[in-house]
Amino acid sequence: MSTLIVIDQPPYGSWEGREALDMAFSLAAFDQPVSLLFCGAGVNWLRQGQDAARVQQKSVERNLAAAPIFGVEALLADGQACLRYGLAATDLIEQASITDFGPELTGRFDHVAFAG
């Protein structure tokens, strides 16, 4: 059973995205195929050079960079959302790849789950 976890919330404003990331890591820990898709304001999770110290939070950049090591198969960014937020491929962490978010993508997974 392959799962796509979709994060459409920006980082730091709520815990929904972090808890969605925990879901992805849990699936990977149990050897279940899982990928993450960031869309809408969620693409900002993948921005390079984040500094969350001034809001007393840990940068999510480091968590995401570790995702492939923990077995998350792909970190996908919705191309339309990247355009909207002025993010080129070179602005994203190196583990991310830009894709089209549509039925062709979601159809490749048995489960698609949204964060919050």
Partner 1 sequence: MTDRSREPTKTPAPAGVFTLVITGAPYSSQAPQTALHFAKAVLAANHQIDRVFLYGDGVHLASNLTAPPSDELNLSDTWARFLSDQDIPGVACIASALRRGLVNEAEMKRYDLPAANLREPFEIAGLGEWVSSTASESRVVYFHKGN
Which of 23, 41, 65, 74 is the binder for partner 1 (CB under 8 A)? 23
Q: Which of residues 10, 16, 79, 80 is near partner 1 by CB under 8 A?
A: 16
59 binds partner 1 (CB under 8 A): no
Determine which residue in the list 13, 19, 48, 66 makes contact with partner 1, applying CB under 8 A: 19
Alpha-carbon gap, residue 8 to 36, rounded angstroms: 11
Which residue, 25 or 38, is less far from partner 1 as judged by CB? 25
- 32 touches partner 1 by CB under 8 A: yes
Q: Work out whether 104 is an interface residue with partner 1 (CB under 8 A).
A: yes
CB of 3 to partner 1, least distance (A): 6
* Cα separation, 87 vs 47, whole angstroms: 8
Rounded CA separation 65/24 (Å)? 13
What is the spatial distance between Cα 114 and Cα 116, in angstroms, rounded to a whole number? 6
SS3 32: coil
Residue 3 found at the interface with partner 1 (CB under 8 A): yes
Which are the contacts of 30, defined by CB distance < 8 A and separation ≥ 6? Answer: none
Q: Of all helices (H) and strands (E), which one includes residue 97?
A: strand 96-99
Interface ranges with partner 1 (CB under 8 A): 1, 3, 15-16, 19, 22-23, 26-27, 30, 32, 103-104, 107, 110-111, 113-114, 116
